[in-house]
Amino acid sequence: MSDAISAPRAQACPLSEGDREDRYKKSGGQPLLEFGEEPNPYAGYVQTPALLALQTPRTGAAGEPSFLIMTQVMELLFKLVYTEAKLVRDHLEADRLSEALWTLRRTHQAMGVLAGTWDVLASLSPAEYNEFRDDLGEGSGFQSPMYRQLEFILGNKSKSMLRPHQGEPSAHDNLARTLAEPSIYDAAVRFLSRREFPIPDYCVERDWAEPRARDDEIIQVWRMIYDDPARHHELHRLAEALVDLAYLFGRWRFSHLLTVERIIGGRVGTGGTSGVGWLRKAADHRFFDELWTVRSVG
């Protein structure tokens, strides 16, 4: 599994603005239709032959293409949101606050699309889902490598969550690396420390693979920022942009929960949990907990 967007590939046949103008004149404004024996340039860029060969349902059930394709769409969107969040983390670590805020804008849009993907699956009836559920065996989204990668970069760290990936060394290595690095929130806190806010040392350097408990001193720092948003304009924007991201992630979790409740009711999950009860607890988790807590600390 590749955890990030791969290094750029050489462009098959680059075109300059001048080349495009010439082509336009030759084609008389009609779309280009002839590309010889090669896959056309769109197929070459998007890699449609490989991409569109990946939808291989296990049954002939009418609802399974929706389930499989939407699952693959979500996996790609996990990858996109992870990629953007990692970039935000790297900008913050390098003191590029404006760039971090700009990238968060795009991250929110991708996360919003992800949160909206449940509408398709929510239209599956229990009977339609049951037609292919047995064929999923013990498979569950809980085992998704990109979802876990995203949880780790956002700060929900857990060493035990590496275990389902032991059989896939590249996924395991990527996850282990992200687990051991500062999350986007750790980077925000370290950034505040470099801006001379009183951040405790144990939040600036620590074992990043360990989850960190809610910290009153950090909450007090956010309180200073929320108390005077005009003075701390950009930091206040950063805080609220992080909350936007956590809010959208919460919407993804709630919509998953509602969709699952609608489809399987009180049945147990394919991945071994109680199902809806377990998901309800998972939906209680908030990324950047201190930013939620600061709202009620006066």
Among 66, 109, 220, 273, binds ligand HEM (CB under 6 A): 273
Residues 6+ apart with CB under 8 A from 194: 95
Tell me how far CA of residue 62 lies from CA of 35, 51, 281, in angstroms: 36, 21, 32
CA distances from 156 to 31, 58, 152, 213, 282 (A): 48, 33, 5, 11, 11
CA distances, 137 to each of 63, 93, 152, 269 (Å):
17, 42, 27, 10
Name the nearest CA neighbour of 257 among 289, 284, 232. 284
Name the residue nearer to ligand HEM (CB basis): 74 or 218.
Answer: 74
Q: Is 269 in the site for ligand HEM (CB under 6 A)?
A: yes
197, 199, 270, 291: which one contacts ligand HEM (CB under 6 A)?
Answer: 270
Beta carbon of residue 27, minimum distance to ligand HEM (angstroms, whole number): 42
Query: Per rule CB under 6 A, is residue 279 in the interface with ligand HEM?
Result: yes
| Nearer to ligand HEM (CB atom), residue 132 or residue 226 | 132
**Which residue of 112, 141, 200, 250 would you call a contact of ligand HEM, by CB under 6 A?**
141
Are the beta carbons of 148 and 1 closer than 8 angstroms?
no
255 binds ligand HEM, rule: CB under 6 A: no
Where does this chain touch ligand HEM (CB under 6 A) — which range of 11-19, 45-53, 136-144, 198-206? 136-144
Nearer to ligand HEM, 15 or 127 (CB): 127
Indicate whether 260 belongs to the interface with ligand HEM (CB under 6 A): yes
Closest to 153 (Cα-Cα) out of 245, 290, 18: 245
Least distance in angstroms from the C-beta of 279 to ligand HEM: 5
Among the listed residues 103, 127, 119, 112, the one whose alpha carbon sits nearest the alpha carbon of residue 77: 112
Contacting positions for ligand HEM (CB under 6 A): 70-71, 74-75, 121, 140-142, 144, 147, 256, 259-260, 263-264, 269-273, 275, 278-279, 282
